[in-house]
Chain A
Amino acid sequence: MPIKVENVNFIYNEGTPYATVALENITFEIQDEEFVGIIGHTGSGKSTLIQHLNGLLKPTSGKIYINGIDITDKKVNLKEIRKQVGLVFQYPEYQLFEETVFKDIAFGPTNLGLNEEEIKKRVYEAMDIVGINRELADKSPFEISGGQKRRIAIAGILAMKPKILILDEPTAGLDPKGKEEILNRIKEIHDKYKMITILVSHSMEEIARFANKIIVMNKGRIELMGTPREVFSEAEMLEKIGLGVPQITSLARELRQRGIPIPQDVLTIEEAKEHIVRYLRGTKNV
């Protein structure tokens, strides 16, 4: 279910004195099974952009195609689009409202008009994927810990079986352990269901780990787009727009400047270690 965004512009409060350009000339494509990272700081337009992908916002101009269907068309069935494009908002645990975990996860599938049997199957399956014990199904979502609440909220979207999964800063406000858990789940979900996954974040480290394509947003425009290696090799540009690169990437850059043969697009600690070990052993042999 590929995504194609063509020359999208979006102006908030158009026609009022408060009009602000939120998106400017956005064009990109995402193919099946891709894991895409969208990065940018608050106000860069990244949240506005993803809300366009399931029709919550309509572009002021430009086209968005999901699986070839133009979703900016007035006649398009938005319910059908939202069924295909699952969007997990920031701090999704704040939307929980039902009496039980089960009912809350079932909210989406119920809105899709599925039968009881199917809903039940999907809810339990979604709970399994996000690692929520089935015994919690009858508990109130408000009696459950913060990290688990967030996973329940994600399960609520997964139970709709979207073909495209978009997550807006799913790790915001969590501690390192909680972040790890959520990220690993997202990776597992992507590996298992092969749905297009779009992860919005302001952490380079997070994005660098899983994404095969990164879109860098700044002031409503796409500043950079490419593989993590391509994007991180533009360290100066990233720092200029206030994003920075993983500590390990800046280490590699410093080392290169000192004349040590290490590729400047190193992304992980393991890679860096390998190169440094080779270098250190090499110099010792000389």
Chain B
Amino acid sequence: MFRNITIGQYVPGDSVVHKLDPRIKIIITFIFIIAIFFINKLSGYLFAVFYLWLIIAISKIPFSYILKGLRPVIVILLLTVSLNIFFTPGGTILYTVGPLRITTGGLRLALFMGLRLIFLIIGTSLLTLTTSPISLTDGIEHILKPFSSIGVPAHELAMMMTIALRFIPTLIEEAEKIMKAQMARGADFESGNIVKRAKGLVPLLVPLFISAFRRADELAIAMESRCYKGGQNRTRMKQLKTQPRDYAALAVTLIIVMLIVWNRSWTW
């Protein structure tokens, strides 16, 4: 059952999008998210649609993967949309159900909010779909590095993420093993009400935590014996170098942003 859980949702590939410098990709994603909030009329979404379509086409990520990314937030999406529909005043009243009114203003806002959320999620999924968790970590570390002088723990954050990526598969495997071992002792993880099920998890969680702590302890000693002394004076084998394609990607993104800003002054 645990095997279905993958870390992140990276889809390996060798498109230009995959090969972009992770720092640039993270920055681009941020710019795009901010740009989405600048859109104030439906026509503005045309640019966003075009931009996302461009990325999807180049990266060759199957559209089904992108839809899969939307599935977990469907509840939030529906909630946002319906709240906006029913509780936004303004515009002409179209329909009345008891105390609730559906107005043109409400519909408009609901549509905007819904689209905004969908674009936001697609944008960030494209980042994680085309960037391996490891290079994502590298990217975050390098972006945060200049801020370490003002107390941002860039190196520590990156190290934590690296270790997490390293040990998640190990712990998943371990959880599976412990679960089977307890099932062999008659443990039941699948039936009963919530309270009973939560209680039933104790034989899984206690050994799992103990093991995680033991591993952490041993890892700390091993790291120390490999001369780990924090981020100071540390070099990195992998250096991130920006290429012309990174600047091109950035340029395309900025053009889209400018178009979106320009779109604000349109009349339709």
Contacts and interface: CB of A to CB of B under 8 A. Distances in A.
A256 interface: no
Interface in A138-172: 142, 156-157, 160
Interface string B187-224: 11000000000000011001100110000000000000
B122 interface: no
Nearest to B204: A97
Given A51-B180, A56-B180, A95-B203, A108 B210 contact: no
B181 A95 contact: yes
Contact of A79 (B186, B203, B210): B186
B202 A97 contact: yes
A142 B210 contact: yes
A79 B211 CA distance: 27
B188 A111 contact: yes
Interface string A80-101: 0011001101001011110000
Given A56-B180, A95-B178, A111 B185 contact: yes
14 contacts: A82-B183, A86-B184, A87-B181, A89-B180, A92-B181, A94-B210, A95-B185, A97-B203, A107-B187, A108-B185, A108-B186, A112-B186, A142-B210, A156-B185
Interface of B: 3, 177-178, 180-188, 202-203, 206-207, 210-211
Nearest to B186: A111
A82 B206 contact: no
A contacts with B: majority SS: helix
B contacts with A: majority SS: helix
B206 A83 contact: no
Contacts of B188: 79, 111
A94 B185 contact: no
Contact of B184 (A96, A97, A157): A157
A54 interface: yes
A89 B184 contact: yes
Contact of A97 (B3, B183, B207): B207
Contacts of B183: 56, 82
A73 to B, nearest CB: 18
A95 B207 contact: yes
Interface string A54-72: 1010000000000000000
Contacts of A108: 185-186
Nearest to A78: B183
Nearest to A142: B210
Interface size class of A (residues with CB under 8 A): 20 to 34
A13 interface: yes
Nearest to A56: B180
Contacts of A95: 178, 181-182, 185, 203, 207
A87 B206 CA distance: 20
B185 to A, nearest CB: 4
Given A94-B211, A160-B186, A89 B203 contact: no
A168 to B, nearest CB: 10
Contacts of A56: 180, 183-184
A100 B181 CA distance: 19
B184 A82 contact: yes
Contacts of B211: 94
B186 A87 contact: no
Nearest to B211: A94
Contacts of B203: 95, 97, 107
Contacts of A96: 207
Interface string A215-232: 000000000000000000
